[in-house]
Structure formats: structure tokens, C-alpha cells
Amino acid sequence: MAKVVLEFEKPIIELEQKIEEMRKYADNLDIVDEIEILEKKVDQLRTSIYSNLTRWQRVQLARHPERPYTSDYIHMIVDDFVELHGDRTFGDDKAIVGGFGRLDKETVLILGHQKGRDTKSNLYRNFGMPNPEGYRKALRLMKLAAKFHKPIITLLDTPGAFPGIEAEERGQAEAIARNLFEMSHLPVPIIVVVIGEGASGGALGIGVGNRILMFENSWYSVIAPESCSSILWRSWDYKEQAAEALKLTAPDLVEQGIVDRIVPEPQGGAHRNPDEAGSILKKILLEELRTLKKVKPEKLIEQRIEKFSKMGAWKE
């Protein structure tokens, strides 16, 4: 697959390629010092570009086609993973994957939205846009986890729940609503991680937890910036403004009191070093679970409902 380079990544990638090329000749020519200078320069460039990302640039990073997806994280952080299929009512939705596995020694249920990497796999995964049976499969698995007292980890990465005729016929709205309702009172720890795109109800449908985490370059909001632009500005051209107005990045959501913790990414974003992103997430999940495991089931429910009850801003 051809490397995808975002516009603002270009100067960094170009410089990196130049260094790579120079290295080939470093044995014959005395250019070690020059390479070192260039390496320092690329480091500075990275820091300056990545510490000044606009909200729209973060949306682009969140959608980067080489970014690790749910299955990648599952394989990086759990052992003995067994994927489970189907909602026992209609079918198996490929846009949500989930199953049991071991995080270190402990069994957890891990599930999330699944995108594809090329046209073929994207069609198979419906671009990570679930149908109602996807949400119902997720709920079936989460109820299993509750039955066997296993913690739940959900990974959010979707451009939205699928807006199609059949999705409506099978009750897309009911499926999402039911999950919000049921997830709020499951007696096991639930950790939610936004790994890429958190678009609206389609993301939230597996997103009610005791702890809400967001990767540094992910986004989470009520609507995608393009759709917001088309509705409020009546044109698709205001996506940058819409992204700014929606305040949809991880730091924004921490400020709004929705997200508890930001998962730092390797320099340049998770796609530049997926393994490192995986090990960072694993370490953080283990920390979070250690704390949540000490909490009694009824307290977990109380704390979760309390957490969401506080969200919002108003005056009397």
C-alpha cells in the first residue's frame, strides 16, 4: 500500500527521506556530522509542527489510513484472543469486532468499531459504520462479560452509525439507545478509549464507561465537521471552521469534563509507530483496571451514572 502523507507531514517526511538516503553513503563519505545536524533539525520540525496542530489537522490524523485500528490494538495488547460473532437475532456485523482475551493475566472483554484499510476490506467492514446488529452484538458480549465478572474495554473508531434503509428498519436508534441504557448499569468496570474517530451516537453506542480515555490525535463530537459545515454553513467548504467551533479534540474534551485522560501518542502520531502506541495503551489500561478492580459492583454503577449525570453546562 502506498504511503499516505498528509499535507502538514510533508516537510518532516521529506527530511527523513533525505537522512535515510545520506545514511546509505555514510560509510564511504564523511557525513556523519551532517546527518546528526539534519536529525536535530527534523526533531525540531516535528516538535514545532505537532505542538501547533489545528483541530482539523487532528481530525485528519485521527482518520489516517495507516493508523492502528481496533484489531491491531487487540493483537498488540491481549493474548489468547477469541473473537465472538453475531447478535443471536439477525446476523454478524463486521463493523464491530469483539471477544475475550487476556490483558496480562486477567480475562477482559475487548471490543470496538473496525474500519478497513483498502476498498475491499472497507466494503467488508462497511467503513466502520455499524448496523443495529453490531450494537446488539456488542451488548450481548458485554452482558456475557457481566455474567462472568470480567472487565470491559471498548475502542471507539467510527465515522458514524450507518444511515441506511435496512439500518432504520432494524431500529438503529433503538439499538443505540438500548446500549446506553444497559451499559450504564452493568456491574463490571468499563473503560472506553477513543482511538480514532468518535462520531456521534454511532460512537457513543459502545461508549458508556467508568473511565473515558482519548488518544492524543483522536476526535469525539456530536457530528463530523463536514456534516456540521453542510448543515450550519449550507456548504461542505467550512469543515476547518466547523472543527474549530465544535471543540472536538482530546484536550477540548478534558476541558469540557467528559474525558478523564489523554493517551499520549508516539511523535508524529500513532501511525508512525503503531507498536509504541499499543504498548502505551496497554500500560495505561493496566493502571486504570488496577484502580477500578478495587471498586464494588454497585459502586461502579453509581459512579458511572453520576459521571454522566454531571455532564453539561447550564445556569439556573
Partner 1 sequence: MAWFRRSKQNISSDGQKKDIPDGMWTKCPECNEIIHKKLLEQNLFTCIKCNYHFRIGSKEYFKILLDEGTFKEMDKKLRSVDPLGFVDSKKYSTRLDETIKKTGLYDAVRTGTGSINEISVVIACMDFGFIGGSMGSVVGEKIARAIDVALKQKFPLIIISSSGGARMMEGALSLMQLAKTSAKLAQLSDGGVPYISVMTDPTTGGVTASFAMLGDINVAEPAALIGFAGPRVIKQTIGKDLPKGFQRSEFLVEKGFVDLVIHRKEMKDQLTKILHLLLN
Residue 28 vs 309, nearer CB to partner 1: 309
Number of residues that bind partner 1 (CB under 8 A): 54
311 is a contact residue toward partner 1 (CB under 8 A): yes
Burial of 188 (0-12, 13-18, 19+ CB in 10 A): buried
What is the C-alpha to C-alpha distance for residues 51 and 40, in angstroms, rounded to an integer? 17
Parallel/antiparallel/unpaired status of strands 152-158 and 219-221: unpaired
Q: Which of 29, 37, 286, 305 is in the footprint of partner 1 by CB under 8 A?
A: 305
Cell, residue 28: 564511504
Sequence-ordered alpha helix ranges (H) in 5-88: 10-25, 32-50, 55-62, 70-77
279 is a contact residue toward partner 1 (CB under 8 A): no
131 is a contact residue toward partner 1 (CB under 8 A): no
235 is a contact residue toward partner 1 (CB under 8 A): no
Residue 45 vs 245, nearer CB to partner 1: 245
Which part of the chain contacts partner 1 (CB under 8 A), choosing from 10-18, 47-55, 96-104, 214-222? 214-222
Q: Using an 8 Å Cβ cutoff, are 252 and 86 in contact?
A: no
298 is a contact residue toward partner 1 (CB under 8 A): no
Residue 34 vs 257, nearer CB to partner 1: 257
Which positions from 142 through 171 interact with partner 1, judged by CB under 8 A?
161, 163-165, 167-171
Which part of the chain contacts partner 1 (CB under 8 A), choosing from 8-16, 107-115, 118-126, 251-259? 251-259
Residue 256 vs 273, nearer CB to partner 1: 256
What is the C-alpha to C-alpha distance for residues 226 and 153, in angstroms, rounded to an integer? 29
Sequence-ordered alpha helix ranges (H) in 117-222: 119-124, 132-147, 165-169, 172-184, 200-204
CB of 160 to partner 1, least distance (A): 9
Cell, residue 168: 432504520
256 is a contact residue toward partner 1 (CB under 8 A): yes
